[in-house]
Amino acid sequence: MRLLVTGGAGYVGSVVAAQLVEAGHDVTVLDDLSTGHEDAVPEGARFVRADITQAHDALDGVDAVLHFAAKSLVGESVAKPGLYWANNLGGTLALLDAMRDKGVARIVFSSTAATYGEPERSPIQESDPTRPTNPYGASKLAVDTALTAFAQVRGLGAVSLRYFNVAGAQGRYRERHTVETHLIPNVLKVATGERDNVSVFGTDYPTPDGTCVRDYIHVSDLARAHLLALGAIIPGEHKIYNLGSGTGFSVQEVISVCREVTGHEIPVVVGERRPGDPAVLVASSARIQRELGWKPERAALGDIVSDAWRALSRNT
């Protein structure tokens, strides 16, 4: 297929673009490089540096869009909600209009666990209430809502994948955000010497060891789900799937695994709770397993951390 990958110079988008090229698709990456890196665009993909509101030309002859481009820092979204609404919702609406103008009727969208907010039960199912607790999650939920409407009125075929905590690396493709908020890369930066210690945000949560529990999914497993989603798009339908490994690990458990993998003691500083962090976020991925036959292959936390560590130590 001829595919447009927005945000394909970023962490998740670059891994998916690499898998798409590998599978023989014709791939164009469109990215404004606001948080991405041009050298993350895989060999064999074309690169267009542009904002998602300027995608018209890049959509010529395209069969489907995989839409990763977004702002995705929860804290920044609280400080600058306008940026999140404009970029994530406004930008996506412009992209969807351009797709309609160019007759492109298929999209796979990066949604998030943040659309659920504080969950009522664990694991979270797609039918559970969506009550985002920050503008980032709200902007992503608004796109999901728009996709449902456009499927009904425009015949758009859409799949939203709600990622839980993405981690790990695929070969050279790794997480390298300039502002890094995610736990695993921050812990590993202590082992490379880039940081002196890692802060644990709260030890008084109602969890077995008092630290937050998350569902970490390997970026390669996540990427594979996009290729399955692409094949499952049905015009006029919007499908939503959670994507996690189905097992929760606490912050302390993650740090322990990072110590085992790196052989570094990784000093810890106990800090305050980070506002807006739910105690436990674990996905039920039963729907995508049942309907698309997806299965995580590198779900073990040791594998996820080892792959992230290998890629990081090769590049620092």
Ligand X SMILES: O=c1ccn([C@@H]2O[C@H](COP(=O)(O)OP(=O)(O)O[C@H]3O[C@H](CO)[C@H](O)[C@H](O)[C@H]3O)[C@@H](O)[C@H]2O)c(=O)[nH]1
DSSP E strands in 32-97: the ranges are: 46-49, 64-67
Cβ nearer to ligand NAD, comparing 77 with 250: 77
The half-sphere exposure of 168 on its side-chain side, counting CA atoms within 13 A, is 26
35 interacts with, out of ligand X, ligand NAD, none, CB within 5 to 8 A per kind: ligand NAD
Angle between helices 251-262 and 301-315 (to 10 degrees): 50
Dihedral pair phi/psi, residue 165, rounded to 5°: -90, 105
Query: 278 near 212, Cβ under 8 Å?
Result: yes
Whether omega before 275 lies within 30 degrees of 0, making that bond cis, reads: no
Q: Which of 123, 168, 108, 126 is nearest to 297 (CA)?
A: 168
Q: Is 315 in the site for ligand X (CB under 6 A)?
A: no
> Which of these ranges, 63-71, 106-114, 141-149, 296-304, lies near ligand X under the rule CB under 6 A?
106-114
Q: List, as one string, the DSSP characters of 104-139.
A: --EEEEEEEGGGTBS-SSSSB-TTS--B-SSHHHHH
Q: Which residues, other chains included, contact 125 with Cβ-Cβ below 8 Å and sequence gap of 6+?
A: 242, 284, 286, 287
Q: Is 96 in the site for ligand X (CB under 6 A)?
A: no
Give the span between the Cα atoms of 210 and 232, in whole angstroms.
40
Q: Is 285 in the site for ligand NAD (CB under 6 A)?
A: no
Cβ nearer to ligand NAD, comparing 145 with 236: 145
Q: Is 214 in the site for ligand X (CB under 6 A)?
A: yes
DSSP E strands in 194-257: the ranges are: 198-201, 213-214, 216-218, 238-243, 249-250
Q: Is 258 in the site for ligand NAD (CB under 6 A)?
A: no
Q: Is 225 in the site for ligand NAD (CB under 6 A)?
A: no
| Closest approach of ligand NAD to the CB of residue 294, in Å | 16
Q: Is 47 in the site for ligand NAD (CB under 6 A)?
A: no
Q: Which residues pair with 107 in a beta bridge?
A: 65, 158
- The contact mask relative to ligand NAD for 100-139 (x = CB under 6 A, - = no) is ----------x-x---------------------------
216 in active site: no
| Closest approach of ligand X to the CB of residue 33, in Å | 20
| Closest approach of ligand X to the CB of residue 260, in Å | 18
Dihedral pair phi/psi, residue 82, rounded to 5°: -60, -40
The active-site residue, picked from 11, 116, 136, 216, is 136
Cβ nearer to ligand NAD, comparing 56 with 177: 177
Residues near ligand NAD, by CB under 6 A: 6-7, 9-13, 31-36, 51-52, 68-70, 72, 87, 91, 110, 112, 163, 165-166, 177
Q: Which active-site residues does the annotation give?
A: 136
Residues near ligand X, by CB under 6 A: 72, 112-114, 165, 181-183, 186, 198-201, 212, 214, 251, 274, 277, 281
